[in-house]
Amino acid sequence: MDNSKLLGLALYPLPVYLFPTSFGFMAELANILTEVKNGVLYLTLNREEKLNALNFQTLEELKMVFEEIIDSREIKAVIITGAGEKAFVAGADISEIAELNEVNARKFAENGQEIFAMIENCHKPVIAVTNGFALGGGCELAMACHMRIASANAKFGQPEVNLGIIPGYGGTQRLTILIGKGKANELMMTGDMIGAEEAKSLGLVNYVLPTKEEAIAKAEEVIGKIMSKAPLAIGMIVDCVNAVFLPEDGYQTEANCFARCVKSGDYKEGTSAFLEKRKPVFKGE
């Protein structure tokens, strides 16, 4: 396979993306729907006829959208979901996986890992609302988000072993971290799917709601609470929690992030408001 295609480069009508203003360019995305409401970006993976499978183009679009989210003053939080009722994301696109070779397979994995790390490291809360199948790269995408809220019909799994491969977008690491070694080994080695309630009992999912609409409403409720807190502190929590999984000393990261919080106006506002018995008004600075 041509490596430029692997990186999505050959697939892009570049002029569309040259001068993005506000979120205008997002309207031009082929496989992702975006809508901003009350500071929340609703990001919908939109290849319903392929169960929202992640092809190269969708991954590149995800990357572009997250680059925009990170810089945006308007977007304070993100909810990711899949179009339709049947699937969140049924995996990386198998028609593209079938074309990999030994050389570009490493790039394939590294590219997905890099994009999912952008999501995991985003300083704004990112919640996956998993409706229907979250398999392979779909489960990996959900795990890269800060939380997962499932509808009752959600199904999770890492079925790559059925294709003679393993998870390559961080799944071997994040699944093990989230549910522990024994269960992660079982799910990845058998390729079995689990339902929403089992996923919740394993710690893979935060909440299960009967329908997708109710799951989105729950995500909005959680995000509403987070948005009333100091944004800088939220970003520092992201960095510290992620530091647990890095070779660096997480306690040192925590001390550094704690000190950064204390330099902020929001720290002064939060502590003053408590002492003055009023609600704090955080400005994110």
How many CB atoms sit inside 10 A of residue 224's CB? 13
Query: Which of 42, 133, 156, 207 forms a contact with ligand COA (CB under 6 A)?
Result: 133
Tokens of 214: 């109710």
DSSP state of 54: B
Q: What distance in Å separates the CA atoms of residue 77 and residue 220, rounded to the nearest whole number?
A: 9
CB 188, min distance to ligand COA, A: 12
Per-residue b or e along 2-22, where b marks 16 or more CB atoms closer than 10 Å to that residue's CB = eeeebbbeeeeeeeeeeeeee
**With CB under 6 A as the contact rule, which of the stretches 77-85, 130-138, 230-238, 253-261 interacts with ligand COA?**
130-138
Which CB, 159 or 235, lies closer to ligand COA? 159
Out of 8, 84, 136, 235, point to the residue binding ligand COA (CB under 6 A). Answer: 136
Binding span for ligand COA by CB under 6 A among 4-12, 21-29, 47-55, 197-205: 47-55
Contact flags string 184-213 toward ligand COA, x per CB under 6 A: ------------------------------
Look up 197 and say whether it is catalytic. no
Number of residues in contact with ligand COA under rule CB under 6 A: 17
Residue 83 binds ligand COA (CB under 6 A)? no
Going by DSSP bridges, is the β-strand pair 40-45/193-195 parallel, antiparallel, or unpaired?
Answer: unpaired
Residue 92 or 179 having the CB closest to ligand COA: 92
CB proximity list for 259: less than 8 A, separation 6 or greater: none
Q: For residue 98, what are its two tokens?
A: 């079938």
Q: Which of 45, 65, 75, 90 lies at the binding interface for ligand COA (CB under 6 A)? A: 90
Q: Does 94 bind ligand COA (CB under 6 A)?
A: yes
Which residue in this structure is represented by tokens 């024994």?
Answer: 182
CA angle centred on 176, ends 175 and 180, rounded to 5°? 120
CB of 2 to ligand COA, least distance (A): 19
Q: Which of 190, 193, 215, 212 is nearest to 202 (CA)?
A: 193
CB count in 10 Å sphere of residue 280: 17
Choose the stretch contacting ligand COA; rule: CB under 6 A; options: 24-32, 50-58, 64-72, 210-218: 50-58
Any contact of residue 171 with ligand COA (CB under 6 A)? no
- Distance between CA atoms of residues 76 and 283, nearest Å: 12
Is residue 159 at the binding interface for ligand COA, with CB under 6 A as the rule? yes
Catalytic residue among 140, 197, 220, 221: 140
* Residue 140 bears catalytic tag: yes
Q: How far is the CB of 94 from ligand COA (least distance, A)?
A: 4
Cβ density class 174-201: b for 16+ within 10 Å, e for less:
bbbebbeeebbeebbeeeebbebeebbe
In angstroms, what is the minimal distance from the CB of 253 to ligand COA?
Answer: 33
Active site residues: 140, 160
The footprint of ligand COA (CB under 6 A) covers 50-51, 53, 90-95, 97, 133, 135-137, 159-160, 163
